[in-house]
Amino acid sequence: MAASGTERSTNVHGWLVVAMCFLALAASFSARSILGLTMPLWEEELGWSRSFVSTGGALALVVMAVVAPVAGNMVDRFGARRTLVAGLAVTAAGMGLTATASAPWQFLLFFSLLSGVGFGVVANHVVSTIIAFEFEENRGLATGAATAGSTAGQLLVIPLLAVILTTIGWRMSYAALGLAALVLIPAAWLFVRPRPASASVEADAPARSLSARLADLARSRVFHALFWSFTLCGFTTAGVIETHLLPYAAACGFPPLPSATAYGVLSAFNMAGMILAGWLTDRMHRPLLLAIIYACRGLSFILLLFIVQDISLLFIFAVVFGLFDYSTVPPTASLVASHLGLRVMGLSMGLLAAGHALGAAAGAFLGGWLFDLFAKYDWVWIASVGLAMLAALLSLTIREHRRPEPVLAAA
């Protein structure tokens, strides 16, 4: 049963889980991001073309999209502890083996496939589910703090890895990431409880078949609103910004160092935005909050249409967009928990993560296609404005209440 209000407000164990999940995401997302740092070195040392390495990175994203709903279902069926530990173990193995790679097939097997499986498990959707079981009060804030590790990896860990990479070598950088994932396994096993005490009664209901749970979700208007808005979220974040912002800055004539600095500013405000959104999730109308985030993100793309001669606008965009980048995660996860129920939260968040990844893949591809077609990025940013506004409208179709939907959450 749920703990009392005083017990929940001093949920020491829960905040230890938040810290552990923060570190796990920092390690996982850093392992994903290091590919860009090592790409030039592999080109020089191993003779691998950038198109080949990029293809390997894209394959890892596809693997993640396939794995995400499977990982979510594993959380529902076998528990968060086993799922997260398995994900960390696979990530550690994949990164450790990538450190030994010398042939193209080894890179595709160790990084794209094996590590891709780990990345698909040690991800925001699994962490959000873990936090939902640990918290009833302050659930939004805890989710924002834990998932902030996904951007903290890019902000804090990547610079450290860059130093290791330039002083010791790329192999040691990959080995260090594999070791970090390995070290986190005992912490995950220790802190993540098999059946958290704060989980609501509906989590104890007899497990239904996968097909039955998928059918329930397919009939839910709330799930469809969250799924399609989160798919558009992937298009407008990981798709067009993470893939095309720095090339756009280069096309505008900005030097690499200030452009990279602006991206670092974006990552810093990204982390702050996630925590702020988590705090607000516990205190305001969540569908409205989610719609505001999408709408403000959409409006921020207008700045990109005017930065061609003014790099200061690039930094302003980095601040504004950073606040509304990953900040959709806490309200989305909170709505899944209350409207769809904890019993199917793992599967629901996994499906949402798969949609996000596919949206990101579409954004990355269409961004490049539109640039090749028009020789400029203007239509990419205009399309992103429209899609973000559509995501905002979808969010407003959800009615606010903090009780689980009877169809999906009842025993």
1-198 and 208-411 have identical folds: yes
Per CATH, domain 208-411 is 3.40.50.920: no
Longest CA pairwise span in the chain (Å): 61
Rounded Cα–Cα distance for residues 310 and 378 (Å):
16
Q: What is the pTM of this model?
A: 0.81
CA distance 405 to 338: 7
Both ends of the chain: CA-CA distance in Å? 15
In the block, residue with structure tokens 């904890």: 342
Residue 41 has pLDDT above 90, yes or no: no
Please give the class, per CATH, of domain 1-198. Answer: mainly alpha
Which is higher by pLDDT, 11 or 305? 305
Cα 87 to Cα 366: distance, rounded to the nearest angstrom: 31
Q: Residue 206 is inside which H or E element, if any?
A: none
In the chain, where are the structural domains located? 1-198, 208-411
Q: Comparing C-alpha atoms, which of 183, 149, 172 is closest to residue 38?
A: 172
What is the distance between the alpha carbons of residues 79 and 184, in angstroms, rounded to a whole number? 18
Q: Each residue of 159-171: pLDDT tens digit? A: 777 777 778 888 9
pLDDT tens, position by position, 56-82:
877 888 898 899 899 988 888 888 889
Instruction: Give the Cα-Cα-Cα angle 99, 103, 109 (nearest 5 degrees).
Output: 70
Residue 88 to residue 84: CA distance in whole angstroms: 6
User: Which 8-state DSSP code applies to residue 4?
Assistant: P
* Helix residue spans in 200-255 (DSSP H): 210-218, 221-234, 241-251
Q: CA-CA distances (angstroms) from residue 27 to 3, 174, 179?
A: 32, 11, 10
Q: In sequence order, what are the residues at sequence separation of 6 or more whose Cβ sits closer than 8 angstroms to the Cβ of residue 66?
A: 120, 354
Q: How confident is the model at residue 195 (pLDDT cuts 50, 70, 90)?
A: low
169-186 pLDDT, tens digit per residue, is 889 889 989 999 999 999
